[in-house]
Chains A and B, each alone.
Chain A
């Protein structure tokens, strides 16, 4: 028997994960599989609660993207009550979404993934982190810390509470925006836009060219993509229709409340995390040569599925990106590039909304009345399409809940990328911490949120790894 390598925990991601790689006698990777084995139970304990409490409870699925859950939940309650929020209510929600996106994309690029690029994948682990970035590029680091914090302050002005917010309610938004607050936010948005512009220029000059070989080889797989677009096909992160794009670029659009006609969730006996797949593309398979039903979500997916972007600077970046990498772009590390295009879009979009005179209207919310109904809410979370699906009884008490979150869609692709990365990097039993960190980089590109993914029971991503021989027989099971 060969040897096993355990990377535990996977670090600089949100939540817990472990990767175990099994080497054969010759020291080459046999099979590596990332399995999720724990659950948290939100779908269960949301049942029996008054449905208006769900926009307050479900953000606790994730403290990094609480706004995504908050807004998907509020939209699901709108649908349950059969109401449409007033224009200012919707615009305030979308504004919060864009500000939250900026905060999260800055966090991921600079605080979590950035160290791999700024210090190098093989830098010692004691400096390969945000503290190391701070030493290596103090000016940039200070600016980034300030602007990320400023985005949190913007959310505080808009909603009182930046993490686990309360302001999106069934029928709208609880806190109108005052003109003086709007003026204050507008100045802050300008500073955020400057950082967004700087970030993509900096990365295009200093990061992506340097790592082009890695970008072209690490974790590369070919899949379809899922994301939200507006009626006219523009990138939209708060509302629109879902677009499912096949690997060849052909796509079909559908209303998000019809998601059950397009997405099914596969269960493997070895994982508590389900594997969503496009059920009309045939049966599920993670075979890299012949994947079945596999699609990806998150930044790269959205940049691939949209026809255009409605803000000028981001549109220009999209055109350049498409010219270089085509549509759909498949290289996994391009998630980072796509993330920076989205950072720019969100800064521009926040400014667009703040300049909209309707944003300071005091009509932000309508009254709702309980009824027996089912309602689906959907937003693009930073990590992918997020669906909240609630059913209530006549008193508006929750009788059923289904949640599909961004990282869960990427469960199969992450497994496939890790396998690809391990196989391409580890040969003849030779590996070191730099190589193992590079394997982890193929996970980090997806910016996975394993707290979201394991909302079902306890927020801890336990991972089990099965080692199979060439015939697919189970040789060994490893768990944490």
Chain B
């Protein structure tokens, strides 16, 4: 009997859904064991019935449910509750669902500030007032899915990886747990670390030192070269089957997209420690809150007091 799967997306970009497709041909084998009962991006099941006569939003029952995106409106909250009610196991797919993700940078501002920017202070926009008819009820901030309903499995990453999605689905089909790695990105990073910075902190306005074509284990750690890297405060796993962290492959430092080392971790504290240990001064970073919590703003970022 195929396993029924339901998927919903809230404050999203769609990247995690594309990641599911990036499983590639093995996905076709997974699909044979799964019946998708609700997934707006791929199939036409409607929330109010196929010809729109329903009065309540309804998602069919499913063994496995997946939610991508954080919660920003009351409708997201209702749909999250409906998903929880109808799905035996609920997966938070990607860092937006797990921690708020990039859209939770909006938690640095009030909704009013955002509306003023978009409708009153934009160069091309005719300023004939704010749209003001039937604005949907937004939540006061972006919430992670787990702040609203119980989540059984969290798959972080912006986006998450095909390996992680395939691994979690396979584990669920076999009735096994799917624990996340607890180590940091640095633990999987092949670069050379000497535990001492070779430069003061500098912005990414120039290339790091490396020899093109040489393996990454010949390159000095980017943070020790002076480029801020979120690796020490970020959960590993982004490298998939290859293992090498994704951004490092492009000679770019980690930006923290897999989220904090644990649910309770404070990336600000972890990063301050990591920087000081190798002799770098965190005070040189002018945009610390948004930098250290870039993907973890749900519950960790709040409006900045205006000076």
Contact = CB atoms under 8 A, between A and B. Distances in A.
Nearest to A368: B205
B33 interface: no
Interface string A47-70: 111101100110011111010000
Given A6-B48, A164-B158, A178-B212, A64 B14 contact: yes
Contacts, number: 304
Contacts of B10: 458-460
Closest 4 CB pairs of A and B: A63-B15, A160-B249, A160-B250, A458-B72
A90 interface: no
Interface string A139-153: 001100110110010
Given A125-B50, A271-B131, A402-B123, A14 B14 contact: yes
Interface of B: 9-19, 21-22, 24-25, 27-28, 31, 36, 40-48, 50-52, 69, 72-73, 75-76, 101-103, 105-106, 108-109, 111, 113-115, 117-119, 121-129, 131-136, 138, 142, 158-159, 203-207, 212-213, 246-252, 255, 257, 286-287, 290-291, 294
Contacts of A362: 212
Contact of A260 (B25, B123, B136): B123
Interface stretch (A236-244, A261-269, A310-318, A319-327): A261-269
A66 B46 contact: no
B24 A145 contact: yes
B136 A37 contact: yes
Given A60-B15, A125-B50, 9 more contacts: A39-B115, A45-B290, A49-B290, A66-B13, A159-B250, A160-B248, A163-B22, A265-B122, A457-B111
A93 interface: no
21 contacts: A11-B46, A16-B40, A57-B294, A62-B13, A128-B44, A130-B43, A145-B24, A146-B25, A149-B22, A160-B246, A162-B22, A163-B22, A263-B124, A274-B125, A367-B206, A396-B203, A431-B51, A457-B114, A457-B138, A458-B103, A459-B103
What's the dominant secondary structure at chain B's contact region?
Answer: loop
Interface string A17-41: 0000000000000000000011111
A13 B294 CA distance: 28
Contacts of A464: 133-134
B47 A167 contact: no
A160 B247 CA distance: 6
B52 A8 contact: yes
A125 B44 contact: yes
A63 B25 contact: no
Interface of A: 5-9, 11-16, 37-41, 43-45, 47-50, 52-53, 56-57, 60-64, 66, 81, 107, 111-112, 125-126, 128-131, 134, 141-142, 145-146, 148-149, 152, 156, 159-167, 169-171, 174-176, 178, 259-260, 263-272, 274, 276, 362, 365, 367-370, 389, 395-397, 400, 402, 404, 431-433, 436-437, 449, 451, 456-460, 462, 464, 477, 479-480
